[in-house]
Amino acid sequence: MGYKETYERWLNSPALDEAAKAELQAISGDEKEIEERFYRELEFGTAGMRGIIGIGTNRINIYNVRRASQGVAKYVNSMGADAAKAGVLIGYDTRNFSRTFAEETAKVLAANGVNVHLFPIVHSVPEVSFGIRTLGCAAGVMITASHNPKEYNGYKVYGSDGGQLPPDAADVVVAAIDSYDIFDDVKFMDLQEAMDKGIVTVISPDLDEKFLETVMTQQQNPEAVTAVADEFKLIYTPFHGTGSRPVKEILKRIGFKNVLVVKEQDTEDGNFPTVKSPNPEDKEGFEIAIRMAKENDVDVIIGTDPDCDRVGIVVRDADGVYRTLTGNQTGALLVEYILASKKAKGTLPKDGVVIKTIVTTELAAAIAESYGVEVMNVLTGFKYIGEKMTEFAEKKNHTYLIGFEESYGYLVGTHARDKDGVVATMLIAEMAAYYKTKGKSLYEALQDIYNKYGFYAEKTVSFTMPGKDGMEKMAALLTGLRKDPPTKVDGKNVVLYTDYQSQTIKTAAGATSPLKGLPKSNVLKYNLSDEKTYFIVRPSGTEPKIKLYLGTFADSFEAAQATIESVLADVKDQMGL
């Protein structure tokens, strides 16, 4: 069925509500818009589905949410009666339609005999992951689009371990979803009826208390907070998201007395009125906080994204300039702080492991090596870090210390299996207090790391390619790189080609060896002849973007940055970006 026929079927379906029908009638005659909304179905991948809010097969709406939930119900029921009884935990963030999508999910699961544990108000990703594990649920659903712009929402599915579904389980859910017609095969019941029958239960605040108590156990130097609590000030912003309650509470509980909150951004508003995008990677979102910091003599600003699984920080340098740290820099600070703290206390385990993704800074490896700690690389996506954590717990062969990715996601502790902005904020604040007791700022602590381990620099650049044309362009670009790979970049030969899709490593001379230990993924990595510099090409799994990741190290930060910029310019030129 072509996109026009699909559009007409939706428009004429008796299952479509009047508002949805009016939305489709409003685009009648707009061929480009109709095609964009109906040329494909919204993809359900290993991270669930994410898309622009609206009516159509390529949009996220109650109909796509119901169909996905029917697939999740089939997946849970396939595991037996005990799994259906254990049920599914449902959480949701502050985005537009998040509560509606959460309730629709509950209605479908209940109609299919699956018990539901529903949060009564917005909650963060780590609280959902923790809740699945604590309540012993068979699965979980989180309604969120993370740090995407306001036009988006999404649907993430978790397994019983509290981690995002691994590829094999996601394939089962996708197959189930594909087997259902979006209008004719989906069952749902009245939510109040489901609650009256006890199929849907509302989660008690006791779970929130357990989460906070568990997060607090990850403090490294609680005495540092006590030592500087009277004079130390920090600024926090939740970017209109779910971090507001748990983050403010955890900072209060561990003893911070002067936490200034950006009031304009401390509202649950899915339109994110104070920012272009609620992304802690973007400095523009911190403009209000930086003004506050200048007025109040504050050294560090911390911000969490709408579902509170990512954290960004702004620090004041020696010249009083407020600088946004990258996810790699914050991760390096946390790795050094945690390993050094444990070593000083004699609690650094011999089988300790730091986990990072393949696109995350190699500085973390240099730090870990200096402490005799192993580093494991996994594919991009925190679910792969979560899988390793579950593997460690089952085999009891390693002790997990910290996992992080360059995209501002960190997890310390084994209470969750996804990024946790609450524990990360707590530790960043504690770390800032600790260095304060040593007469240093976080910026100075970062300079100490560079002086100790070398000047590593990284850069991530995204190229947005929306719509059907963009999807085709991205596919063509990757195909072209595989067919005719670059041989020289910025005057340096490409000496190693790693294709995570074909699972091969090739040298410039043509020798090929297998890539072992990682699943297939549409990622290409190129190592240059200086033996320091690399770049990686990867299409985003959640947004219509091609991402470039570049990394190197040098004798100075300026030299490393210059190499990054020079390589980036040449790569962009060769790729036509």
Q: Active-site residues: which are they?
A: 146
Contact (Cβ atoms closer than 8 angstroms) between residue 93 and residue 242: yes
566: helix, strand or coil: helix
Q: Report how far apart the first and last C-alpha atoms of the chain are (Å, whole number).
A: 34
C-alpha–C-alpha distance, residues 110 and 569, integer Å: 54
Contact (Cβ atoms closer than 8 angstroms) between residue 38 and residue 56: yes
C-alpha–C-alpha distance, residues 310 and 320, integer Å: 26
Distances from the Cα of 360 to the Cαs of 33, 90, 462, 564, in angstroms? 37, 31, 15, 15
- Rg of the chain in Å (alpha carbons): 24
C-alpha–C-alpha distance, residues 130 and 137, integer Å: 10
Query: 258: which 2 tokens?
Result: 């002067």
Query: 437: which 2 tokens?
Result: 């007791």
Query: 242: which 2 tokens?
Result: 């779910």
β-pairing, 524-528 vs 234-237, is: unpaired
Consecutive H or E run containing 173: helix 167-178
Distances from the Cα of 38 to the Cαs of 2, 9, 15, 314, 474, in angstroms? 8, 11, 17, 42, 19
C-alpha–C-alpha distance, residues 166 and 153, integer Å: 21
191: helix, strand or coil: helix
